Structure 1
Amino acid sequence: MDALDILTNLDHCFPYFQPVFSADEHRVIGYEILGRYNGGGQVISLGPFFQDNNIPEEYRLEVDNTVLAKALELAIGLDPDVLLFVNRDADLLIHDSGEEFLQFLLKFQEKGISLERIVLEIAMDESKDEMDHLLNYYRTFGIKIAIDKLGDESSHLDRIGQLKPDIVKVDLMPLRSMNPPPAYQDTLYSLSILARKIGATLLFKNIEMIYQLQFAWQHGGRYYQGFYLEKPLSYFIPRDILKDKLKEEFHEFIVYEKKKLESIFAITESFQVKLQEILTKNRKSMNFEELLKSLSKDLDHVALRMYICDDDGFQLSPNMFKNDGKWELQPAYTGKNWSWRPYFLENMIRMRNDKKGILSDLYCDIETGETTRTFSFPLNAHEYLFIDLTYDFLYQHDSLL
C-alpha cells in the first residue's frame, strides 16, 4: 500500500467500527473507530499507514481527520449514550497543544456528538509526561481518556496511577493458551486492583475465544471487544444483538464461579472442624512447639509451614517447616513481626470477631517460590495459628488454584 496513493485518494478512506460490549448491560456501549482504505476493490487497514513515522505528521493527520469526520457524520444517528473510541498518536496531538483535535470535535458537538461520548485512546508507550496537561485539559470538556496497549508486558502501573485514565484497555492476544503463566495473571490482578482504586474501567480487547471472555470477566473486565463478539464493520449493529448470548454465557461463568467458591468454603469449613477437634483434644496440655509437632502429624500431606502469632503479628513460636519431606523446627523466626503483610491485621480482627478461620487467596511463597494459600485460625482472642498449604494439596483440590 503506497502512502501517496492514499493521500491522493482520500475519498477511498473510510471508517470501520468495532463494537464494544458491556458486562453489566450485555449490549453495545460504544464503537472503536478504525481506518480503512479501498484499494482496487480490496479493503485494507490503515493501521500501518498511521504507525509509519517515515510519513510526515501532517499527511497522517489529514488521513486521520478524513476517517474521523466520516465516522462522526455516521454516528450522529446513534443513541446519545453510545461512546466513540478515537485513536490518536500522541505526537500528532501535542504538535499544536491539541487545539486542532479539540476544535475538530467541537464542530461535531454542534451537530449532536457530545464530547462526553468521545473516548480518546493513547498508547501506553506514547503517554509521555508532557501529555498530562493536555489530557487534563481535554477532560474539562468531558472527553474520556483510555490507555491502550497493555498485555503481558504491562509494567506501567505507576504511570497509569499518575494519569488516572477513565478506561484501561488490556490486550488478550498473549492469552493464546488456556493456562496463562502465573505472572500474567498476577499482573492483571494488580491492574484490576489499581483500576478499582483510581476509578478506571477495564476494557479487554482481542477476545477471540470464549475462555478469553471468561478470563476477562473473572479479572474485573466491564467492557469487551474482539472477533469472538463481533469483527469491525462498516456499519453499526443493533445494540442488543448479543444480549441473549452474553446473558447465557455470563450465567455459565457465574455458575462456575459459585461452584468454585462453594468448594473453597467447604474446604475452609473442613479445616475449621479438623483443627477444632485436634485442639480440643490436645491444646491444654501442650506448649506451642508440642502443638505444632502434633499438628504436623495430622497435616503431614497438607501443610508446608506452620507457626503461631499474637494479635499484633509477633510470632510466638518457631516455624514448623517441611524440608525434603521431613518436619523441622526453625527457632530463628520466633519474635518476627508480620503485621506489614497486606490484610494481616484486618484478618486478625475478622477471626477474632467471627471466631472462625480464614483461607487466603493464592500467592507465591517468598522463600520457596511455591504457589500456596494460608489457612489462619484463632486459638483464642490473642493467639493465632497459620498454616501454609502445599501446592500438591491445592492441585488435588483444583478449585483452590
Structure 2
Amino acid sequence: MDALEILSDLEHVFPYFQPIFSADEQQVIAYKVLGRYETGDNIISLGPFFQDDQIPDEYKFEVDLLLVRKALEKAIKLEDDISIFLNRNAELLMYGHGEPFLQELLDFEKKGFNLSRIVLEISDRKYLGDLDQFDHLLQYYRTYGIKIAVSSTDSESYHFERIGQLEPDILKINLEPLKSTATGMNFHDVLFTLSLLARKIGATLLFENIEMSYQLQFAWKNGGRYYQGFYLYPPAAEFIQRDLLKPRLKEKFHDFISYEKRKLEGVYLASEYFHSMVQEIVMKNKKAGFKELFQTLVKELDHIAFRMYICDEDGFQKSANIFKEKNGWDVQAEYKNKNWSWRPYFLENIIKMRNERKGILSDLYRDIETGENIRTFSYPMNGDDYLFIDISYQYLFEHEQLL
C-alpha cells in the first residue's frame, strides 16, 4: 500500500463502523471504527497501512487522527449510551506522549461528546518502548472516563500477566480459531482461563469475528456480553437502527436457552441415575471392605467408569486407584494416601455432599493423566468416606447431553 498516495489524498480516507451488540438488550451498544480508503471504484481496508512497519509513525498518526475526527463527528449524533471503539497500538498511542490524541478527544468533549463513551482497544505485544510510561498514560486517560479493551486468546503467561496488570474494562476474544476443524481443546482451556480472569478483574467479555451461528452460540454459552462480526452485521459507512437485530437475536437466544436447558436436564437426570445406582450398591456392601465394594462397582459400572477411589473429607486418598486398562481393571496402590484437596471445588463439593447427603456430578473437564474430557461422580458413603467415580469419555460420547 502506497503511504504517500494515501497522505496526498486524505479526502478519500474515511471511517467504517461495525456494530457491537449486547446480550442483555439485544441491540447495538457500540461501534468499532475501521479505516477505509476509496481508490477509483474500490474501497479498501487501511489495516495493511497501519500494520506496515516500514511506514513512519507520523504518517500513521496523521491518517489515524483524521479517521478519529471523522468518526466522532458522526458519532456525536448517536445516543449518549452508544460507545465508540478505537483500535490503537502502543506506538501510535504514545506518539507525542499521547497528548495530541487526547487533545483531539477533549475538543469533542467540549462539543458535548462524553469521553466515557470512548473505548481504546489497545495492543502492546510488539511495543519496544517503556511499558511503565505506557501504563501511566492509560491510567491518565482513564481519569477522563476513557475505557480500555484488550484483545486476547494468547495462552502465554506473559499475556495473562499483562491483562492482570492493565485490568481492562473489556476483554476481547477472537473466535476465528473456531472456524478451523483443527482447533483443539487448548482454545477452550485458554478461553476458560480468560473468562475466570475477566470475572476476577471485573472485565466484560466481548467476542469478535463471529461469522457463523455456532460461534454466536459459543460466545453466548461462554459468558459473552458483547458480540461483533459479519454474521451479525458487516462494517458500513453509516450507523444502523439500534433494534435492527432484536427479533433475530431474541429468537437465537431462545434456541440457545432451550438447547442448554435440555443439556442441563440431561445432566441432572444422569446425576440422579448415578446417585440411585451407587447408593444401592454402597448400601448393599455397607459392611464390606473397600476391596469387596470395588469388585461390585466394577461389575456394575464397567461400561461407565474408568477410575474409582475413596478419599476422606480432607482429600487424603484412603484406597488405591481402581483403574480400567485395555485388558481389564487394575489396582494402582501408589495413589493411596495422596491428597487432592488442592483441586478446584474439591473441598466445596465435600461440604456440599456432607450437608446434603447426596452425590454430585462434576462439570466437564480434561483428565490430567488420560487427556480426555471426563466427568466425575462423587458420593458421600458415610461421615468419613467419599467415593469418586471418573466417567469415561466413551460413555459421555454415547450420551450426548453429557458433553
TM-score by length of 2: 0.96
- Give the share of equivalent positions with the same residue, in percent: 60
Distance 1:152 1:173, change over 3 A: farther
For 2:385 and 2:15, the matched residues in 1 are separated by 65
Query: For 1:392, which of 386, 391, 394 is the aligned residue?
Result: 394
User: Which residue is 1:61 aligned to?
Assistant: 61
Tell me if the contact between 2:122 and 2:150 (Cα under 8 Å) persists in the aligned partners: yes
Correspondence list, 1:113-192, <5 A: 113-123=113-123, 125-126=125-126, 129-130=131-132, 131-148=134-151, 150-151=152-153, 156-177=159-180, 180-192=183-195
Query: For 1:317, which of 315, 319, 337 is the aligned residue?
Result: 319
User: Which residue is 2:103 aligned to?
Assistant: 103
Tell me if the contact between 2:61 and 2:95 (Cα under 8 Å) persists in the aligned partners: no
For 2:356 and 2:221, the matched residues in 1 are separated by 28
SS in 2 for 1:96: helix
The letter for the 1-side match of 2:277 is: K
Stretches of structure 1 lacking an aligned partner (at least 5 in a row): none
TM-score by length of 1: 0.96
For 1:66 and 1:181, the matched residues in 2 are separated by 42
> RMSD across aligned C-alpha pairs, in angstroms?
1.5
Tell me if the contact between 1:151 and 1:174 (Cα under 8 Å) persists in the aligned partners: no
Query: For 1:211, which of 210, 214, 217 is the aligned residue?
Result: 214
Distance 1:307 1:153, change over 3 A: closer
For 2:310 and 2:108, the matched residues in 1 are separated by 66
User: Which residue is 2:23 aligned to?
Assistant: 23
Deviates further, 365-374 or 388-397: 365-374
Distance 1:259 1:124, change over 3 A: farther
Could you list the per-position Cα deviations for residues 80-116 of structure 1 after superposition, in whole angstroms to 9, with x for gaps in the alignment? 0100000112112223321121111011011111110
Tell me if the contact between 1:154 and 1:187 (Cα under 8 Å) persists in the aligned partners: no
SS in 1 for 2:96: coil
Q: Quick check: 1:248 aligned with 2:251?
A: yes
SS in 2 for 1:307: strand
SS in 1 for 2:67: helix
The letter for the 2-side match of 1:77 is: K
Distance 1:240 1:178, change over 3 A: farther
For 2:86 and 2:210, the matched residues in 1 are separated by 20
For 1:179 and 1:278, the matched residues in 2 are separated by 42
Q: Quick check: 1:361 aligned with 2:341?
A: no
For 2:289 and 2:191, the matched residues in 1 are separated by 43
Query: For 2:296, which of 294, 297, 300 is the aligned residue?
Result: 294
Tell me if the contact between 2:89 and 2:124 (Cα under 8 Å) persists in the aligned partners: no
Q: Quick check: 1:351 aligned with 2:353?
A: yes
Deviates further, 175-184 or 273-282: 175-184
Q: Quick check: 1:263 aligned with 2:261?
A: no
Q: Quick check: 1:277 aligned with 2:280?
A: yes
User: Which residue is 1:45 aligned to?
Assistant: 45
Query: For 1:333, which of 329, 335, 339 is the aligned residue?
Result: 335
Stretches of structure 2 lacking an aligned partner (at least 5 in a row): none
Shift of 1:140: 1.2
For 1:325 and 1:272, the matched residues in 2 are separated by 28
User: Which residue is 1:112 aligned to?
Assistant: 112
Tell me if the contact between 1:289 and 1:318 (Cα under 8 Å) persists in the aligned partners: no
Tell me if the contact between 1:293 and 1:320 (Cα under 8 Å) persists in the aligned partners: no
Shift of 1:271: 0.2
Shift of 1:390: 1.0
